[in-house]
Chains A and B, each alone.
Chain A
Amino acid sequence: MPWGEWMSSGTRFINLLADRLPPLRWLLRLLPSGRGIVILVPYLWLVAFFLIPFIIVAKISLSESVTAQPPYTEIVRRVAGGQVSFAAPEKPGNAADTTGAVPAATTQTSSAQGSVDAPDQSAEIKGGPPEDVSGGFYVKFNWDNYDYLFSDALYFKAAKNAVFTAFISTVICLLIGVPMAYGIARSSTAWRGTLLMLIILPFWTSFLIRVYAWIGILKNNGIINNILIWLGVINDPLPMMNTNFAVFIGIVYSYLPFMILPLYSTLEKMDLSLLEAAQDLGCRPWKAFLQITVPLALPGVIAGSMLVFIPAVGEYVIPELLGGPDSLMIGRVLSNEFFSNRDWPVASAVAIAILVLLVIPIVVFQYFQNRQQEATT
C-alpha cells in the first residue's frame, strides 16, 4: 500500500531528524503520541461542537432578550469598581455604591444598571457592557425565561403534547415493527437481504419528501378521500390533514425503519432451537412467542423505542407540515421562538427544558448501547 509506506517513511524521516537535533526531540516528546492524536482529534471535535454548545445554550437561557445582534445580553458584564458583584434586583445601586471616584462613570453605570434590572426597559440597552468602564464584573443570572416557561400554559401543554404524541407513535411503531422484524428474521435467507434492503431504502431517500407524500394522501381532495368518495363510502371528505392523526402517521412512517432494524438484529441472533424445544414440550406458538421471543427481543425493543421516542419528542418538521395549529409540539415551539419571535434566550430555555425531559430516556438508551457494545467485543 503506497499510502502506508509513505506515512511510515514520513515518521521515519522525522525520527531521523530528531536524532540529529536534540531540541527537536524534546519538542517531539511534548507532542502527543500517535495513540494520543487518534483519541484527541475526535475528542476535541466533539467537545468543541457537541459539549460546549450545550453549555452556551444553558448560559444564554439565563440571559435577557434584547433587540440587538446577537439578540441577548451578556450575563457577565464588566463594570467600574474593581470587584465582582452579583446581581441583586432589589438593590439597583449595587455597583455604583463601590465606585464614586469618577462621577461621570458612576452615573453611566448606575443608569445602565437601572435599565438592566427593570425588565420592561431592558429592550433599550443594545447589549454589551458600558464601553468606558473597566475593572470588575457584574454577573447576572436571569431566571425570568424559566419563570416565563412555567407561567405560560402554552409551554407545558406543548411539552405534554409532544411526550404524548411521541409515546403513542412509539407504541404504534412497535405494533407494526415487531411482526415485520419477526417476519423478516424468519424468512428464507434468499429473501432476507432483499426485505432488509427494502426497509433501509426509504431511509436513504429524502425524509422531507416522504413527509410531503402524506400531504397528497391525506388532504381533503387527496388520494384517500378521492377513493372513498369514488367508492361511495362517504359524501364529504374526511378532514385528516392538519390534525393530530396526520402527525401520528407522519412520525410512525418516518421512524418505522429505526424501530425495525434493531428489532431485526436481536431477533435474527435468537436461537431458534429454543422455540422448537418449547413446541416439542407442547407450547402453543403464540405462547412461545410471548414467553421466549419477546423477552429475548427486549434489548432490541428498548433500542428501537428510544430511537423513535427521543427524536420524536423534539420533532419539528412533521407537526409543521402535517399538523394543524393546535398540534403544538415542544420542538415546534422552540423553532417558533427562534425563527418567528427571534427570542433566543427563551428558545434556549425551551431547549434546556427538552433536554431535562429527555435525560432519562437518553441515559437508558446509552446504557443499553454500552451493554450491547460490551457484549459484542
Chain B
Amino acid sequence: MNKGLSWFVLILLIAGYFFLYGPILSLIIFSFNASKLVTVWGGFSTKWYGALLNDRAIMDAVKLSLWIAAIAASGAAIVGTMAGYVLARFRRFRGRVLFTGMVSSPLVMPEVITGLSLLLMFVFMEQVFGWPAGRGKLTIVLAHTTFCLTYVSVIVQARLTQLDQSLEEAAQDLGCRPMKTFFVITLPIIAPAILSGWLLAFTLSLDDVVISSFNTGPGATTLPMEIFSRVRLGLNPEINALATIIIGVVATGIFVASLLMSRQEKRRQRDMQLAIAANK
C-alpha cells in the first residue's frame, strides 16, 4: 500500500478514513448500550433492537419507503437509461443544450428548491387537470423518479461512451434494425450499469427526507421523515439500532455485489484466454 506514498500522505489518509468511519462506528457501538442515555455506557444489551421491531410507526415507514424506492428506482432506470442513451448516442438534435442542462442540473440543485418546485407543480396540476388528487405516495414516487433519473443517466451515459460501438455497427451492417440492435446488443452490455443505476436510485430514494417532506400528504410518512422527526428531539437509542441494521444491510449488499463482480470479471478473462487459445 505504501508503495511511493510518503508517510505524510499515509497518515492523512488514515486520519481521513477515521473521520469517515469513526462516527459510524460510534453509532454501532452505542446501539448495544443498555442505558437510555445513548452516549453513557450502561452495559451490553440488545433491547433497543427488540423495541425497534415492535415500533409500529417505524415498521410502517420502512414498508412504505421500500415500496416507494422500488417503484421510483424502476421508473428512474427506464427514463434515465433513455436519457443516458440520448446523451451518448445522439450528437445533435433540436434542444440538446437544454436537454443536457436539465439532465445535469438536478445533481447539484439544492433539495429544498427541487422539493418546493415539485410540490407547487403538483398543486398546479391538481387545479388544472384534477390529477394527482392530493399529495401522498404517488407524488413522492413522481418526485423521487425525477431526481433519481439523472443519476441513472450519468452512469448509463458513462458506460455507453466506453462501449465499443463497432458491435452495434456490425449488427446494423448485417441488417439489424436499430431497435433490435438496442435490445439484442446494447442492452445486455449496459445491463450492469443500469442495475447499479437502479441500486443508486433505490438508496437515494430510501434516504431522501427533504423532497419527501415537501411532497407528502396525510398518511404517507417515509422512514427518513420518521427518523427526522424523532432525531430533532435528540438522541434516541432505537435510531442507533436502526442505523446499525441499515449499515449492516448496505455493507453486506456491497460486499456480495463486489464479490460477484470480481468473480464475473475472472470468468470473462478465462473465457477470453480460452477463446484466444482455441483460435491459435
Contacts and interface: CB of A to CB of B under 8 A. Distances in A.
Interface string B166-204: 000000000001111011100110000000000000010
Contacts of A197: 254, 258
Contacts of B143: 49
B124 interface: yes
Nearest to B110: A314
Contacts, number: 271
B10 A226 contact: no
A334 interface: yes
B232 A216 contact: no
A216 B158 CA distance: 39
A186 B107 CA distance: 28
A344 B12 contact: no
A214 B243 CA distance: 13
Contacts of A39: 86, 90, 93, 99
B246 interface: yes
A316 interface: yes
B108 interface: yes
Interface in A114-143: none
Contacts of B1: 187-188, 190-191
Contacts of A221: 37, 39-40
A315 interface: yes
Interface residues of A, number: 99
Q: Which bracket fits the contact residues of B?
A: 35 or more
Interface of B: 1-6, 8-10, 12-13, 16-17, 19-24, 26-27, 30, 37-40, 79-80, 82-83, 85-88, 90, 93, 95, 98-113, 116-118, 120-121, 123-124, 127, 142-143, 145-146, 149, 153, 157-158, 161, 177-180, 182-184, 187-188, 203, 206-207, 209-210, 213-214, 224, 227-228, 231-232, 234-235, 239-240, 242-243, 246-247, 250-251, 254, 258
Given A212-B243, A253-B19, A334 B86 contact: no
Interface of A: 1, 3-5, 7-8, 11, 34-35, 38-39, 41-43, 45-54, 56-57, 60, 70, 176, 179-180, 182-184, 186-188, 190-191, 193, 195, 197-199, 201-202, 204-210, 212-217, 219, 221-223, 226, 253, 256, 285, 306-307, 310-311, 313-317, 320-321, 331, 334-335, 338-339, 344, 347-348, 351, 354-355, 358, 361-362, 365-366, 369-370, 373, 376-377
Nearest to A256: B20
B3 A187 contact: yes
Contact of A186 (B5, B104, B206, B250): B5
Contact of A209 (B80, B83, B227): B227
Contacts of A351: 112-113, 116-117
